[in-house]
Amino acid sequence: MAPALRAVVFDFDGTLADSYAAITASVNEVRSRRGLPPLTPEQVRPHVGRGLHHLLRNTSPGGKLAVDCQVYLQHHPSVLMSGTHLLPGAAATLKPLHEIGLKLAICSNKPRDFTVALVSGLGISGYISVVLGPDDVPNPKPAPDMLLAALQRLGVSPEEALYIGDMTVDIATARAAGVRVWVVPTGSDSRDTLAAAKPDRLLDNLAEVTAELVK
């Protein structure tokens, strides 16, 4: 028999929170400094979730990446909270999972300090034991480093964990780490794209997580 589930690890952007307005605002600050017109959140959204370098290469190509990253990182705190909100059902999912004794963590390609600030500001820090970002490990997702580091800190094996995300990069990360993976179509990748990547479960929304795990 498979080991009992002991931990659930979540992606952040597009899985637990809608942060596209904040991310778009900082992308447009970079573009403005370079004399480029602003983009809409819909134009930025497909490029979110694979790290800051990927985001800026695809939304502000042709510039000096190190300079653009610095502009983004300096600007982002000014829009972090105002441009981010929890997705429907996020808090209502985390609370009962925490109450039944599951260990909860977040692994996101967003810089960790931003995620930590949001977890606190959005009122979910009491449910989350570990928050990791690309600055904590040698390689960002889809490498398994971040997820494996989270499991080590939680004290659970890959077989005892579930990873929940919204992108094919999350599916690839979980597969590389030997962790079960469920996805929700609320982020950067479409439902059809997610289905083609063959997650263990393709859910409609976070409410299904609670329905499945809290009996």
Closest of 200, 188, 191 to residue 11, by C-alpha? 188
18 catalytic? Reply is no
Q: Running DSSP on this structure, what letter comes out for residue 114?
A: H
Residue 53 CA to residue 152 CA, distance in Å, equals: 27
CA distance 174 to 171: 5
Is the distance from CB of 155 to CB of 142 less than 8 angstroms? no
Question: Who contacts 182 (Cβ-Cβ below 8 Å, separation ≥6)?
Answer: 162, 163, 164, 199, 200, 201, 202, 203, 209
Choose, from 11, 166, 170, 189, the residue flagged as catalytic: 11
Strands 103-107 vs 85-86: parallel, antiparallel or unpaired: unpaired
The CA-CA-CA angle for residues 210, 213, 215, to 5°, reads 95
Round to whole Å and give the CA distance between 192 and 19.
22
Nearest to 27 by CA among 13, 49, 51, 44: 44
Which residues are marked as active site? 11
